[in-house]
Chain A
Amino acid sequence: MSGHHISSAKFLWGVAISLFFLTFLTVAVTWIHIPEPWNVVVAITIAAIKATIVAAFFMNLWWDSKFNVMLFLMSILFFLLLVGITLLDTLYRVDPVPSF
């Protein structure tokens, strides 16, 4: 059955070690001062990879029903809608914060 996947201990440790490594990596890249805006891109990419690893292997989405995967993706999509459409306003205002 889906949802009853049992990971081996070795596998779970492997997942954790890769996460530890990526954490180290994301700190390490700040030492070489990548110019704007690529520093943000790199940081977010690494965070997204880490989040994907957690979701796929710790939260068992890899073996889970497709619908749960869809739910997870949908929440991200709607978050992006919230941010994206709000930025359509805030980035293109004449006066960023209206002064009172």
Chain B
Amino acid sequence: MATNDESKNVRKLQVKRFKPEENPEKHYLNQEKGLWAWMTTVDHKKIGLMYLGSITFFFFIAGVLALLLRTELLTPARSFMDADMYNQVFTLHGAIMIFFFLVPSVPTVLGNFILPLQLGAKDVAFPRLNLASYYIYVVGALFTLFAIFTGGIDTGWTFYTPYSSSAAGGNIMAMTFGIFILGFSSILTGVNFLVTIHKMRSPGITWNKLPLNLWGLYATSIIQILATPVLAITLLLLTMERMLSIGIFDPAIGGDPVLYQHFFWFYSHPAVYIMIVPGFGIISEVISTFSRKVIFGYWAIALSSLAIAFIGFLVWGHHMFTAGQSSLANMVFSFLTFLVGIPTGIKIFNWLATMYKGSIDLKTPMIYALVFLFLFTIGGFTGIMLGALAVDIHLHDTYYVVAHFHYVMMGGMVMAFLAGLHYWWPKMFGKMYSEFWAKITCAIIFIGFNMTFLPQFVMGSQGMPRRYFNYIDQFQSFHQFSTIGAYIMGVGFLIMAAYMIHSLVKGKPASSNPWGSRALEWQTSSPVPLHNFEHTPVIINGPYDYHKPMSEFQLGITASQHAHHADKPVDISTQEKEQA
């Protein structure tokens, strides 16, 4: 098929400046009305909002469970839960947080909403699959809720055999089947993003002008499509283990429980990068925008995301140092684990270098980004400690590990998610939130978070094991301090819910580009029009070129010209630049 053959290498495009309309009458939120139109929408923006509602619901549920756990731990003996109940609650807290909040949150909410906008596309490549992935998520969630109400589970979120293959343990089949289904949702999102980034870029968006947020999502999608199927087969085998007693993992029938752990962590270690890598993308965007400065080390940040994605597949055995794997494997995994520190360090240094001599504007998203840098660095360093084989034998399965992954997951990923949510909130709803309350809340969450988890490092190093509902008296003051911190954090999130809802109802209207960003998603109206852009955008500058005038970032094709094959260089012939 001979399409634009006449353009060998360079295509000529007629462009002019399109200034986004401020506070348009018609936008994606009001152009299609009614519940049915929402439920059957294939619009990536609405699907993103539907995901936002769902993950907020699960974050709330799992957060309440966490507060229950902390309340139980106020006293060394039983406070109000017995041991079985406690086991169920921490299992659900972990499983829901990880599978229903952390894994989907950034890609499905912010990714779905922002990715096509940053590419200048009208939608993701497969909008119907996108909607399907949402409903698959819902079905998976229903299975999980069903499992909770029909016996619960108490194996821990890892579903290790033989706990999970023995008769006890509650309704594990419903739970694992729910997560098996959820995996498809994750895979479909990954497929969609990869294809969209490859095939739907606007003219001029070459790989070196791709926003770093998209590099993050790209790396994430790669992990999703490579790792999730292995989780799927693992959970399928586990389901079969319970249904037909196939005995591949069950030691009672001659299987190997450690093999289950290999399979499980082949997914679940890369999965922590599914959670954190898109967060890195958000942080890159936020730091550059609020430092008014071109990002330092663009390729270093972009490629280190891919490097993390790859190295993430080589280190899973560091979760199994005490599980009985061979000492050779222990050594290799311990060594490889240290490699993760390299690309992560590259990122941190590049972000710091971006801020250096920038004109830093401490708006709420930027404050969250700084909180991220602080907490994530602590989480990362303690991770190196745990990766060291000898130290890990001492610290394995103690509160040190609990504190470490909460610093990485909550201090890293959740803070990045909140940075992104506050950053793109005006674009999503066309409303501003109260900057004052947002900053106060950020401070409350920061204090509460550190109060909760810093003492756990100390407790862990002194030998407090995780997953116990009682403990010896010497740890009581640590536990109580931690519990109070958790309450403070809970209050913080309640205030956040309040000012966010207030913003939706009574917030001041947001301009199309409240932060003065150069990125493409800010060059359309807030809220976004139904089909994202009134014209096909054309890109000539990178998304972080703050030294170039805003007028060069709002170009669009005038005539209806052929516009894909973004890789080819574009020759821009600008008509008279339209003045404001």
> A residues bordering B, Cβ < 8 Å?
1, 4, 67, 74-75, 78, 81-82, 85-86, 88-94, 96-100
Q: Are B252 and A93 in contact (CB under 8 A)?
A: no
Closest Cβ of chain B to A96, distance in Å, is 8
Q: Give B262's nearest chain A residue, CB to CB.
A: A86
Question: Which B300-345 residues have a C-beta within 8 angstroms of A?
Answer: 313-314, 316-317, 320, 324-329, 332-333
27 residue pairs from A and B, CB less than 8 Å apart: A4-B1, A67-B198, A78-B226, A81-B314, A85-B317, A86-B262, A86-B266, A88-B326, A88-B328, A89-B258, A89-B325, A89-B326, A89-B328, A90-B256, A90-B326, A92-B326, A93-B325, A93-B326, A94-B326, A96-B256, A97-B251, A97-B254, A97-B255, A97-B256, A98-B258, A98-B324, A100-B251
B259 within 8 A of A: yes
Q: Are A92 and B328 in contact (CB under 8 A)?
A: yes
Q: Give B270's nearest chain A residue, CB to CB.
A: A78
Measured between alpha carbons, how far is A96 from B314 in the docked complex, in Å? Answer: 22
New A-B pairs, 7, CB < 8 Å, besides A74-B226, A78-B313, A85-B329? A88-B326, A89-B317, A89-B320, A90-B256, A92-B328, A96-B256, A97-B255
A96 surroundings in chain B (CB, below 8 A) = 256
Measured between alpha carbons, how far is A9 from B316 in the docked complex, in Å? Answer: 48
Measured between alpha carbons, how far is A8 from B272 in the docked complex, in Å? Answer: 48
Question: Which B215-271 residues have a C-beta within 8 angstroms of A?
Answer: 226, 230, 251-252, 254-259, 262, 266
Q: Give A67's nearest chain B residue, CB to CB.
A: B198
Question: Which B182-220 residues have a C-beta within 8 angstroms of A?
Answer: 198
B162 within 8 A of A: yes
B317 surroundings in chain A (CB, below 8 A) = 85, 89
Task: Give chain B's interface secondary structure class.
Answer: helix
Measured between alpha carbons, how far is A81 from B310 in the docked complex, in Å? Answer: 11
A82 surroundings in chain B (CB, below 8 A) = 230, 266
Q: Give A88's nearest chain B residue, CB to CB.
A: B329
Closest Cβ of chain B to A69, distance in Å, is 14
Measured between alpha carbons, how far is A81 from B230 in the docked complex, in Å? Answer: 12
Measured between alpha carbons, how far is A94 from B326 in the docked complex, in Å? Answer: 7
Size of the B side of the interface (Cβ < 8 Å), in residues, is 29
4 A-B pairs with the lowest CB-CB distances in the bound complex, closest first: A92-B326, A89-B329, A89-B325, A88-B329
Q: Are A98 and B329 in contact (CB under 8 A)?
A: no
Q: Give A92's nearest chain B residue, CB to CB.
A: B326
B262 surroundings in chain A (CB, below 8 A) = 86, 89
Q: Give B332's nearest chain A residue, CB to CB.
A: A88
Known: A88-B332, A93-B325. A81 touches B313 (CB 8 A): yes
Q: Are A85 and B328 in contact (CB under 8 A)?
A: no
Q: Give A65's nearest chain B residue, CB to CB.
A: B198
Partner of A75, one of B162, B226, B251: B226
B258 surroundings in chain A (CB, below 8 A) = 89, 98
Partner of A98, one of B230, B251, B327: B251
Q: Give B266's nearest chain A residue, CB to CB.
A: A82
Closest Cβ of chain A to B476, distance in Å, is 36
B1 surroundings in chain A (CB, below 8 A) = 1, 4
Q: Give B254's nearest chain A residue, CB to CB.
A: A97
Closest Cβ of chain B to A83, distance in Å, is 10
Q: Are B162 and A100 in contact (CB under 8 A)?
A: yes
Question: Which B138-197 residues have a C-beta within 8 angstroms of A?
Answer: 162
B230 surroundings in chain A (CB, below 8 A) = 82
B314 surroundings in chain A (CB, below 8 A) = 81, 85
Measured between alpha carbons, how far is A69 from B73 in the docked complex, in Å? Answer: 54
Closest Cβ of chain A to B188, distance in Å, is 16
Partner of B252, one of A67, A92, A98, A100: A100
Measured between alpha carbons, how far is A98 from B259 in the docked complex, in Å? Answer: 11
Measured between alpha carbons, how far is A97 from B328 in the docked complex, in Å? Answer: 16
Closest Cβ of chain A to B193, distance in Å, is 14
Measured between alpha carbons, how far is A57 from B556 in the docked complex, in Å? Answer: 42
Q: Are B259 and A86 in contact (CB under 8 A)?
A: yes
Q: Give B250's nearest chain A residue, CB to CB.
A: A100
Closest Cβ of chain A to B336, distance in Å, is 9
Measured between alpha carbons, how far is A51 from B332 in the docked complex, in Å? Answer: 32
A99 surroundings in chain B (CB, below 8 A) = 251
Measured between alpha carbons, how far is A34 from B69 in the docked complex, in Å? Answer: 62
Closest Cβ of chain B to A85, distance in Å, is 7
Partner of A90, one of B259, B313, B327: B259
Measured between alpha carbons, how far is A90 from B257 in the docked complex, in Å? Answer: 12
